Amino acid sequence: MAIGLFVLAILIQLAVILAIFLMSLSRVTGSIIAIVTVVVTAFISPWSLILGVPIALLCLVLLITPIRQALITKPVYKTLGGAMPSMSDTEREALDAGTSWWEKELFMGAPDWNTFAEYPYPKLSAEEQSFIDNEVEQLCAMIDEWQIQHEDKDLSPETWQFIKDNGFLGLIIPKEFGGLEFSSYAQSLVMSKIASRSPTAAVSCMVPNSLGPGELLMHYGTDEQKQRWLPGLASGEEIPCFGLTGPEAGSDAGAIPDTGVVCYGNHEGEQVLGLRMNFSKRWITLAPIATVVGLAFKMYDPEGLLGDADKTDYGITCALVPASHEGVITGPRHNPGGSPFMNGTVDGTDVFIPLDYIIGGVENAGRGWRMLMECLGVGRGISLPALSTSASEMTYLSVGAFAKVREQFKISVGKFEGVQDATSRMASQTYMLEAFRHLVTCGLNQGGTPSVMTAMAKYYATETMREVVNDGMDVLGGRGIQMGPRNFLSTPYQAIPVSVTVEGANI
Helix 383-405, helix 490-501: angle, nearest 10 = 150
For 201-235, letters b (16+ CB in 10 Å) and e give bbbbbbbbbbbbbbbbbbebbbeebbebbbbbbbb
Residue 127 annotated among the catalytic residues of the structure: no
| Among the listed residues 347, 346, 371, 375, the one whose alpha carbon sits nearest the alpha carbon of residue 361 | 371
Going by C-beta distance under 8 Å and a sequence separation of 6 or more, which residues neighbour residue 134?
none
Distance CA 263, CA 275 (A): 6
306: phi then psi, degrees, rounded to nearest 5: -85, -5
Read out DSSP for 55-115?
HHHHHHHHHSHHHHIIIIIHHHHHHHHHHSPPPPHHHHHHHH-S---THHHHHTT---HHH
Alpha-helical segments (H) within 132-183: 137-142, 145-147, 157-165
Helices (H), strands (E): how many in the chain? 23, 9
Do residues 373 and 98 lie in contact, with contact meaning Cβ atoms separated by under 8 Å? yes
Q: How many residues does the chain have?
A: 507
Torsion of Cα atoms, 328 then 500 then 384 then 376, to 10°: -50
Contacts with 357 (C-beta within 8 Å, 6 or more apart), sequence order: 274, 275, 319, 320, 321
- Measured between alpha carbons, how far is 372 from 265 in angstroms, rounded to an integer? 28
Catalytic residue among 135, 215, 393, 503: 503
Q: Residue 263: beta bridge partners?
A: 274
Active site residues: 503
